[in-house]
Structure 1
Amino acid sequence: MTRLAGALLPLAEPAVTAGQKKRAGRSGVRHRKITPYLFLIVPLAFLITFTYVPAANLIWFSVTDWDGIDKTKNIVGADNFIEIFTDPEVFRVFYVSLFYIAASFIQMGLALYFATVLSFSTRFRNLFKGILFFPYLINGVAIGLMFLYFFQPDGTLDSLLKAVGLQEVTTQWLGNPDAVNPSLAATSVWRYTGLNFVLFLGAIQSIPSQLYEAADLDGANRFQQFRFIIVPGIKRIISLSFILAISGSLAVFEIPFIMTGGANGSATFVIETIRQAFTFRQVGLASAMAVVLLVIVLIVTLVQRKLLPDDEVNLT
């Protein structure tokens, strides 16, 4: 028996000392701390390569007179930024953006109204939801071509106005500098109202139904429920829509580019930027315009954060 026990002794599991357990514990903790960063390497690499590096190059190009072809880049300092705010042709894009900013608030108001109405028991509400969201699913090029025929002389809009006796209102909707920007902004309202509608509707439906029941028992009408329950409950979504509205109004491109090409004073910020870069070969000026757009969006975001703090709304 003694010999058998001696032969089996090497097969027994060696004893683990307290020091070995401590080192193993430290190794496990170290691995748990490193593992999340290993998963972040790839997305961070893509983010830096395709976002921060191009942004740094954009800022560098904005202080040069590079034409996009020659290798030489002469530093001009703030001359490009001064030209943006002093050249009437370039500065006009800010005036055009005002039409889209006004249109974005109109579309937010319409979306909030329809989302509030359809969040309650309404006949055919699923049908109306689909109708409101459908324009957002259509490709921007298709929408531009649709409304190009809609606004053409003796087109759909003119025919409708003549049918109701308003033929004196008809005009060159896309050829008249006074009417082209409101017409294009109205097209944007038709297209993007569905997106805000879905955002508002989802937020409203996430509000606990017990709040509406308590409000009904207290005698609150629909407007009071909207003011004291819905608006505070979807404040975050309204804040997000506000940022998207301002940034989207400055970055409008598809619809005016397809319908007018920026003619008759309808050139937006992005259209003018592309024109300066690829038509006039002023990549430095175009880069400065892109930097200005980025700064405006950041300022709007910071102001929004100060005016509408993103605190947690207590609904319970």
Structure 2
Amino acid sequence: MSSKLSFSNLSYKAQRRVIIISFSLLPMILLITFSYYPLYRMVFFSFFNWNGFSANREFIGLDNYVKVFSTPEYFSVFRVSLYYFFATFLQMAIALYFATLLTFKVRAKNVFKGALFFPFLLNGVAIGFIFLFFFRPAGTLDSLLLLFGLESITQKWLLNPDINNISLAMTSVWRYVGFNFIIFLGAIQSIPSDIYEAAEIDGASRWQQFKHIILPSIRKIVELNIILSVSGAISVFEIPYIMTGGANGTKTFVIQTVETAFKFNKFGLASAMAVILLIIVILVTLLQKRLFGEKEDH
């Protein structure tokens, strides 16, 4: 009772401050425990030569960073990210198309919404195994091609270095198109319906409505999705790791980092690689924001 009285005796500003601190305390503790502290430890370990198990750690300063930048094999894997980079634009185009289409009156549109969003609900490991069977020799894709008399197109989709990264990138498109779709759909549906009605009265076609109403209205959301998609393309991991293990030229920088840590027991070097990847993602994000900001200023 006394605690209630003492709290009620506080001024409104003080009560507000106590409530904010009380509700923010637990999230901040969790954030520090599971995000900031591990990040600090990762940066700390990047300055050591350490196998991850022994108690002895040798301080080597910036040698791990120098080794990453001076060894071509560590950065050559970034070319694989280009496949996912270009796939993100295809992914966004598909998502934006269906989000626009399903905004208007379409039969069974809720069924289509569920079908498009469902892949994003699946676990990445499950998707990897699904498409592993889909792309394997004499698998689902080859069977479909044989059914339509296109046996000349069949090939080793995950074993051919000329096409395996394209196959993996298309798997990524299938998985994440639902995420972009649901964000675009929510943004488009927030546009007042009166605007569409006025445009239809003026004789505007669907394309003109998309170009002059929808696209300008959701520009910020498009920019946000581009930033998230490009950052994800740089740090892709699950799909290539599950489906190919990084073999035949499908290894990404994240897979390279994981192998360095857990296969070769070079935790200090792997920590340095993780820090470099984090910095690259931050720089790419800032660059995109600056580019979009300049366009907005003009």
**2:5 maps to what in 1?**
none
Which residue number corresponds to residue 151 of structure 2? 167
What is the aligned partner in structure 1 of residue 3 from structure 2? none
Q: What amino acid is aligned across from residue 302 of structure 1 in structure 2?
A: L
Deviation digits for residues 147-199 of structure 1 (CA, Å, limit 9, x no counterpart): 11111112222222233343332221111122211111111111111111111
Give me the whole-angstrom Cα distance separating, in 2, the residues matched to 1:28 and 1:119: 45
Distance 1:29 1:146, change over 3 A: closer
CA distance in 1: counterparts of 2:64 and 2:153, whole angstroms = 42
Aligned to 2:203: 219
Question: Offset of 1:73 from its aligned partner?
Answer: 2.6
Q: Is the counterpart of residue 176 in structure 1 residue 185 in structure 2? A: no
- Which of 49, 54, 62 aligns to 2:38? It is 54
Asked if residue 203 in structure 1 is aligned to residue 183 in structure 2, the reply is no
Secondary structure, in 3 states, of the residue corresponding to 1:43? helix
CA contact (8 A) 1:236 1:310 kept: no
Note if 1:254 corresponds to 2:238: yes
Q: How many residues align?
A: 289
Is residue 300 from structure 1 mapped to residue 266 from structure 2 by the alignment? no
Q: Aligned-pair RMSD on alpha carbons?
A: 2.3
Determine if contact 2:231/2:285 at 8 Å carries over to the other structure: no
1:104 deviates by: 1.4
Aligned pair 1:119/2:69, yes or no?
no
Post-superposition CA distance 1:187-234 (Å, at most 9, x none): 111111111111111111111011112222333222221122111211
Mapped pair 1:108 → 2:92:
yes
Check conservation: 2:75, 2:253, Cα contact below 8 A.
no
1:1-316 map, 5 Å: 29-309=13-293
Partner of 1:13: none
Structure 1 unaligned runs (5+)? 1-23
One-letter identity of the residue aligned with 1:273: T
- Aligned counterparts of 2:285 and 2:261: Cα–Cα separation in 1: 27
Aligned partners of 2:12, 2:214: CA distance in 1, in Å? 48
**Cα distance 1:209–1:68, how it changes in 2: closer, same or farther (>3 A)?**
same
Give the Cα–Cα distance (whole angstroms) in 2 for the partners of residues 39 and 153 of structure 1.
55
- Aligned counterparts of 2:159 and 2:12: Cα–Cα separation in 1: 71
**CA distance in structure 1 between the aligned counterparts of 2:295 and 2:27, rounded to whole angstroms:** 29
Show structure 2 runs of 5+ residues with no match.
1-7
- Deviations 1:9-58 (Å, cap 9, x if unpaired)? xxxxxxxxxxxxxxx98755444444422332222222222211111111
Distance 1:180 1:35, change over 3 A: same
Percent identical across equivalent pairs? 55
1:117 and 1:58, CA in 2 relative to 1: closer, same or farther beyond 3 A? same
CA distance in 2, matches of 1:254, 1:29: 48
- TM-score, length-scaled by structure 2: 0.89
The letter for the 1-side match of 2:210 is F
In our comparison, the structure showing a higher alpha carbon Rg is: 1
Amino acid in the other structure paired with 2:21: Y
